[in-house]
């Protein structure tokens, strides 16, 4: 995140496909530069970003692009889509990036998961702590679901995970996996996984307290709601 050419902070995001183009999902606090719950500035400079630069891998090498976060120089008309019902209460936004040529090589599919995940299920947060990467690839942090995933924590579409995460991972996708040989239950019947199976569980948005490893994960329904809103109300520019 930048204000003009001054770098303010780093974060993580991922792409989903839609009828209006590729949508880059990340946390709302990344693009606003403010804590979504307290409203306090996140940067030591108290700066507010007006540009977002992102890098993703492709068969041709890294793709670096820049997005203006506002339609106007006064920074009063943001370009991102928020949750259609909960608005700024949800720390997730989507930015349509259809203007860039070609398709991005990796998309997250936020369809409703058929498996029921429980407290204690292992999860992975895939992002860039402290901007670190493994030759451009994201870093995996592993933890466990820490609150009942069918219950909305704090009255919002959130569940908690217990995972050691750090700045830069805000906006990471959170996944769970079955490995070959793992037992899978579906419709009351047990099956054995024949291959790796990856399930999207939500988008990570940081710890609930700086001294805790408990962090918020916004449920996939949030991503689906924003995609649906974008497809119904936003037009290509």
Which pLDDT tens digit goes with each residue over 96-108?
Answer: 886 555 566 678 9
| C-alpha distance from residue 113 to each of 42, 56, 166, 218, 220 (Å) | 34, 26, 27, 14, 9
Q: CA-to-CA distance for 121 and 114, rounded, in angstroms?
A: 15
User: What stretches of the chain adopt beta strand conformation (E)?
Assistant: 2-3, 6-7, 14-16, 23-26, 51-56, 63-68, 93-96, 122-127, 139-145, 158-162, 173-178, 183-186, 189-192, 197-207, 214-218
Q: What is the pLDDT of residue 135?
A: 86
CA-CA-CA-CA torsion sign (64, 165, 215, 206): negative
Q: What is the pLDDT of residue 139?
A: 96
Look at 236 and 136; give whichever has higher pLDDT: 136
* Model confidence at 125: pLDDT above 90: yes
Q: CA-to-CA distance for 70 and 150, rounded, in angstroms?
A: 36
Q: What is the pLDDT of residue 100?
A: 56
Q: How confident is the model at residue 205 (pLDDT cuts 50, 70, 90)?
A: very high
Answer yes or no: are the C-beta atoms of 202 and 160 closer than 8 Å.
no
Domains of the chain: 2-106+224-233 (no CATH), 122-219 (2.40.10)
* Model confidence at 234: pLDDT above 50: yes
pLDDT over 70 percentage in the chain: 95
* Model confidence at 87: pLDDT above 80: yes
DSSP 55: E
What is the rounded average pLDDT of the residues 183-211?
A: 89
Q: How crowded is residue 19: how many other Cβ atoms within 10 Å of its Cβ?
A: 11
This prediction has a pTM of 0.92
Tens-place pLDDT, residues 31-56: 999 988 888 888 777 789 999 999 88
* Model confidence at 26: pLDDT above 80: yes
Q: What is the pLDDT of residue 97?
A: 80
Look at 36 and 8; give whichever has higher pLDDT: 8
The token pair that represents 130 in the structure block: 């402290």
Tens-place pLDDT, residues 137-187: 899 999 999 999 999 999 999 999 999 999 999 999 999 998 898 888 778
Q: How confident is the model at residue 237 (pLDDT cuts 50, 70, 90)?
A: very low
């Amino acid at each position: 995140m930048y204000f003009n050419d001054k770098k303010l902070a780093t974060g993580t995001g991922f792409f989903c496909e839609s009828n209006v183009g590729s949508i880059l999902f990340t946390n709302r606090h990344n693009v606003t530069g403010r804590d979504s719950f307290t409203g306090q500035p996140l940067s030591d400079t108290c700066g507010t970003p007006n540009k977002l630069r992102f890098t993703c891998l492709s068969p041709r090498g890294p793709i670096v692009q820049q997005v203006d976060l506002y339609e106007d120089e006064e920074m009063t008309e943001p370009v991102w889509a928020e949750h259609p019902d909960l608005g700024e209460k949800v720390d997730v936004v989507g930015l349509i990036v259809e203007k860039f040529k070609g398709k991005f090589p990796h998309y997250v599919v936020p369809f409703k998961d058929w498996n029921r995940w429980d407290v204690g299920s292992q999860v992975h947060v895939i992002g860039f702590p402290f901007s670190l990467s493994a030759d451009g690839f994201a870093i995996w942090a592993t933890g466990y679901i820490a609150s009942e995933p069918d219950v909305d924590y704090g009255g919002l579409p959130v569940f908690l995970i217990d995972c050691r995460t750090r700045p830069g991972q805000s906006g990471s996708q959170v996944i769970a996996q079955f490995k070959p040989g793992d037992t899978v239950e579906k419709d009351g019947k047990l099956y054995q996984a024949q291959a790796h199976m990856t399930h999207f569980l939500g988008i990570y948005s940081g710890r609930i307290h700086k001294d805790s490893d408990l962090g918020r994960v916004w449920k996939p329904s949030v991503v689906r709601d924003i995609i649906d809103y974008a497809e119904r109300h936003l037009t290509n520019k």
